[in-house]
Amino acid sequence: MPFYPLYALLFADSGVSAAGISVLFGIWSAATFLLEIPSGVWADVVSRRRLLTFAPVLDAAGYALWTVAPSFWSFALGFVLLGAGVALRSGAQQALVYAELDRLGAAAAYPRLIGRSQAASGTGGLLATALAGPLVAVGGYALVGVVSVAALLLCAVAGRALPEHRPEGGQGGVDEEGRGSPAGKDEKDGKDEKGEDATSAEVGSPLAVLRSGLAVVRRSAPVRRALLLAAALTVVGALDEYVPLLVRDTGAGPAAVPLLVAAVTAGSTLGGLVAGRGGRQLAPLLAGAAVLLAVGAGSGAPAGIAGVAVAFAIFYWALAQADARLQDSLDDSSRATVTSLSGAGMEAVAIATFAAYGAGADGLGLSARWLFAAAAVPYLLVVPRAAGRRARLLRERGGRNPPGRGISQWR
């Protein structure tokens, strides 16, 4: 959205103090965190496509409110709407895409597709940032707001065009392995424990879906490993916000700072583009990325940013792999719920990372280079245990592409 690089300036120009801006960002994070799990449950109860259609409308309403009535309270309400939009997309998007690919026998294509989506999102963000300057110069914040709202309404149209062949309310319980199964049915005869057809009123209820999702996490070790891996990778996503500070610590001149930041952004985009390849090398590649991040950031030299860029490429590639491993471990009955549980955990880790960075920088006086280097250490401890074998899960679920079928049919 063209508004993204400018909204902090809009807040300041509207008389909001620096402390007030921090409060607004806190409202945004809190709204996303609190709505993450309820929205995931909702996505398993109702149409996921419907949520993906509605989410951009909420975002558009938030930006429109900022545009027509700029004030602290309108900004706060706008962030609540934006947080709700983020929460509605989280879980629903991954669940819908994976379920449709799985229906076509193309589940193996999921990490490649989701990685390309991440790369396209990053590229779109760069283009929107480049467009923001000319827009605000021509028509001020009002024009930026109009273009942002229009873009979001187009996103709603795109969401409505997504395929969905899953009936509403078709949720189920959990089997002995901790994965979902049709509600109340025994795998052998399709009957519930009373010997009757399982069509109870509890099928598809939000509480039943939430219990099913929590049971999946409790009973399934592959799911827990995937959740842990996704949460660990969130640290790098949070550090992304501090890359300009890291670049400045290298002593790079003002003209070189944007170029070096762009190099790290390009690395993240490239990582998304190559997602779906080399999944069996996840653990050693992540260990290598941790070393590159520590050495590149700790070098304190502009040339070290090249290592950081490569590390970010691997981390963002791994994020798509972690998402795929989680989806491979789930049954569709509670897929969005468990994915939203992952999103809530990732949001919590991001908030903790922001707090830790602030404490390290302000409380301990550490520079960005040492904070980035320290952030690489947990990966050497967590990643080897969190990385599982996605190929084995696909074989168990029959997720290989059958002859003549593939991702092109989903498109």
The answer to whether residue 150 is domain-embedded is: yes
Final residue of a domain: which of 160, 186, 212?
Answer: 160
Residues 240 and 148 in one domain: no
Residues 12 and 115 in one domain: yes
CA distance 214 to 230: 17
pLDDT tens for each residue of 246-258? 887 888 776 677 6
Spatial neighbors of 302 by CB under 8 A, at least 6 apart, are 247, 250, 251, 252, 256, 260
Residues 147 and 231 in one domain: no
Residues 225 and 119 in one domain: no
- Comparing 55-69, 234-248, 250-264, 374-388, which segment has the lowest mean pLDDT? 374-388
Q: DSSP letters along 173-185, please?
A: EE-TTS-EEETT-
Residues 38 and 156 in one domain: yes
Residues 235 and 334 in one domain: yes
- Comparing 31-35, 59-63, 323-327, which segment has the lowest mean pLDDT? 323-327
Average pLDDT, the chain: 75
Residues 259 and 144 in one domain: no
Final residue of a domain: which of 141, 160, 179?
Answer: 160
Number of domains in the chain: 2
Residues 152 and 226 in one domain: no
- Comparing 89-98, 203-212, 365-374, which segment has the lowest mean pLDDT? 203-212
Task: Return the higher-pLDDT residue of 175 and 335.
Answer: 335
Looking from the CA of 345 toward its CB, the CA atoms found within 13 Å total 18
The answer to whether residue 186 is domain-embedded is: no
The answer to whether residue 87 is domain-embedded is: yes
Residue range(s) defining the domain that contains residue 90? 7-160
Query: pTM higher than 0.75 for the full model?
Result: no
409 pLDDT exceeds 50? no
The answer to whether residue 65 is domain-embedded is: yes
User: What is the H or E stretch that residue 172 is in?
Assistant: strand 172-174
pLDDT tens for each residue of 141-197? 899 899 999 999 999 999 898 888 865 544 443 333 444 443 333 333 334 333 333
The answer to whether residue 255 is domain-embedded is: yes
CA 144 to chain centre: 25
The answer to whether residue 165 is domain-embedded is: no
Residues 376 and 299 in one domain: yes
pLDDT tens for each residue of 87-144? 888 878 888 888 888 888 888 888 788 778 877 877 787 787 778 778 888 888 899 8
Task: Return the higher-pLDDT residue of 241 and 182.
Answer: 241
The answer to whether residue 187 is domain-embedded is: no
Final residue of a domain: which of 117, 136, 160?
Answer: 160
The answer to whether residue 144 is domain-embedded is: yes
Residues 381 and 297 in one domain: yes
Angle CA 163–169–173, to nearest 5: 115
One-letter-per-residue 3-state SS of 28-81: HHHHHHHHHHHHHHHHHHCCHHHHHHHHHHHHHHHHHHHHHCCCHHHHHHHHHH
Residues 250 and 378 in one domain: yes
Is residue 222 within 8 A of residue 393, CB to CB? The reply is yes
Q: Using a pLDDT cut of 70, give the percent of the chain over it.
A: 80
Residue 279's pLDDT is 61
Q: Using a pLDDT cut of 90, give the percent of the chain over it.
A: 12
Residues 239 and 362 in one domain: yes
CA neighbor of 403 nearest in space, from 104, 136, 134, 132: 104
> What's the CATH code of the domain at 373?
1.20.1250.20
